[in-house]
Structure 1
Amino acid sequence: MSDEPTLGEVVRRLEAVHQDLKEDVRELGSRLDSKVSIERYDYEHRARDDDLRRMSERVRAIEEARDADARQADADRRTADDRRRADRRLVFTALIAPIALLLLQTYLAARGAGT
């Protein structure tokens, strides 16, 4: 008979099991309260996707603006180079060529080849 628990021990063990179950249910409830519902998850996921899409569009717009600025700067540089070349041609045709021709005529006149 000593192997069998008394009625008081059975009641105490049942109360301990009952208390453990209550704690487990309370813990499970708190864990479930901390979980996110699928609707909220979907909403937050869509919001994050929208934010990422808007951010990538802004980055793309900034990159396109930067590329356009670079193309414009390159075009401005080419235009300035063309103007410098035109100015050099103008200086040559307006100043240097007439002076060279004048010197040639003076040289030829001094040698007497002109008469």
Structure 2
Amino acid sequence: MADEPTLGEVVRRFEDRLTDVRDDIKQLGERIDTKVSQEVYDLRHEALASRVVALETLREKDAEKLVATRRWLIGAVIVPLVGILLPVIILLTQGAGAG
């Protein structure tokens, strides 16, 4: 008989468990309130995907501009410079060899 809890002890334990269950239900409710609905998630995902596509397109355009700038640099600066300097170098080497 000494091992059996009293009626007051049983009620106290039951109230503790009931309080624990209420706290758990409250925490679950708070967690559910913070979750995003599937529709909102899908809309955000689609918006993010479209931003990524736009950024990739801009990156490709920038890469094309870089290639065009390099081609312009070669065509407008380096080729004429070589065209001017090459005959001068040839004349200087021939003149140094003749003397």
TM-score, length-scaled by structure 2: 0.72
Residue 27 (structure 1) aligns with: 27
After TM superposition, the structure 1 = structure 2 runs for residues 1-115 of structure 1, keeping only pairs within 5 Å, are 1-77=1-77, 78=79, 80-81=80-81, 84=84
Deviations 1:43-93 (A, max 9, x none): 111111111111111111111011111112212132x258748xx7xxxxx
Q: Could you list the runs of 4 or more consecutive aligned residues of structure 1 that deviate by over 3 angstroms after TM superposition? A: 81-85
Structure 2 stretches of 5 or more lacking a match? 88-99
Root-mean-square deviation (CA, aligned residues, Å) is 2.1
Larger Rg: 1
Post-superposition shift, 1:3?
A: 2.1
Residue identity in the other structure for 2:75: A
3-state SS in 1 of match to 2:3:
coil
Q: So what's the TM-score if we normalise by structure 1? A: 0.63
Match of 2:93 in 1: none
Percent identity, please.
35
Partner in structure 2 of residue 109 of structure 1? none
Partners of 1:6 and 1:73 in 2: how far apart? 96
Counterpart Cα distance in 1 of 2:76 and 2:13: 91
Aligned length: 85
Give the whole-Å Cα distance in 2 for the aligned partners of 1:81 and 1:69.
17
Distance 2:82 2:6 in 1: 110
Q: What's the CA shift for 1:25?
A: 0.8
The code of the aligned residue for 1:27 comes to Q
Q: Residues of 1 paired with 2:64 and 2:58: CA distance?
A: 10
Q: Looking at both structures, which has the greater relative contact order when contacts are Cα pairs under 8 Å and sequence separation is at least 6? A: 1
CA shift for structure 1 position 4 = 2.0
